[in-house]
Amino acid sequence: MTAEPPVPATTETGGEPAQRRRRDAAETRQLLLDAARRRFARDGYAATTVRDIAEDAGVNVALISRYFSSKEGLFEACLRAAGDELGRTTGQTPADRVPEAIARHIADPGAAGLSSQLSLLLRSSGDAGADEIRRGVLVRSSEQLAAARGWRPDEPGSEQILLRAQMAIAAGIGVAVLRSSIWLEPLSSASEHDLVGPLRDLVDALLPPR
């Protein structure tokens, strides 16, 4: 057998790698992060074992402690990644396209979809740092939405708008959670197109476009 050609960063689409991976700490770290995000989002923090995660990622258990200090460190890294990703997508969305954006992300069945991200964010770990990350993400996105509909900080009358924006976000979360954790027809198999109409009605009713 000759040595394998040094293919750089093969991105490993699909199942576990058939050929032996190269030794690459950064890639291994990322494999662990991806596997952990899927597991934590689906089963919750406490029900997920580090051995599960390592097996999914195809790496040794001890590397979790090496790269993330502990299971809790890995969870916080997942949370941070989900928070960044979520903040990036909500930041890029123009205010009048919010229902479409929510519908698109809810409908996305992939691991990067809003449903998985939000499920992950809602899982409690008993860790104070995790709570703070969660809060930050939700505060940021609800204030972005509220600001687009007339809310200004410290303006007395407009706190109603912030409350309503938070309820709109909560509605999106509720739909995402229901779709991801309970099979409920017709909601579970509704397409992006099916969702966008009701979502528009919902958001417009809570936050009139003025």
Q: Which is nearer to a second copy, 58 or 129 (CB)?
A: 129
* Residues 133-137: contacts with CB under 8 Å, at least 24 apart: 133/76, 133/79, 133/80, 133/83, 134/79, 134/83, 136/83, 137/82, 137/83, 137/86, 137/87
Q: Which is nearer to DNA, 16 or 24 (CB)?
A: 24
Closest among 58, 56, 59 to 42, alpha carbons compared: 56
Q: Determine if 60 is a binding residue for DNA (CB under 7 A).
A: yes
Half-sphere exposure of 25 (CA within 13 A, CB side): 4
Per-residue x/- mask for a second copy, residues 40 to 79, rule CB under 8 A?
---xxxxx--------------------------------
Q: Determine if 16 is a binding residue for DNA (CB under 7 A).
A: no
Q: Which of 5, 6, 94, 156 binds DNA (CB under 7 A)?
A: 6
Dihedral in degrees, nearest 10, Cα atoms 160, 152, 196, 136: -90
Q: Determine if 23 is a binding residue for DNA (CB under 7 A).
A: yes
Q: Which secondary-structure segment (H or E) carries 138?
A: helix 128-148
Q: Which of 33, 35, 41, 59 binds DNA (CB under 7 A)?
A: 59
Half-sphere exposure of 157 (CA within 13 A, CB side): 1
CB under 8 A: which stretch of 25-33, 68-76, 78-86, 118-126 binds a second copy?
A: 118-126
Per-residue x/- mask for a second copy, residues 166 to 185, rule CB under 8 A?
xx-xxxxxxx-xx--xxxx-
Residues that bind DNA (CB under 7 A): 3, 6, 21-25, 27-28, 48-51, 59-66, 69-72
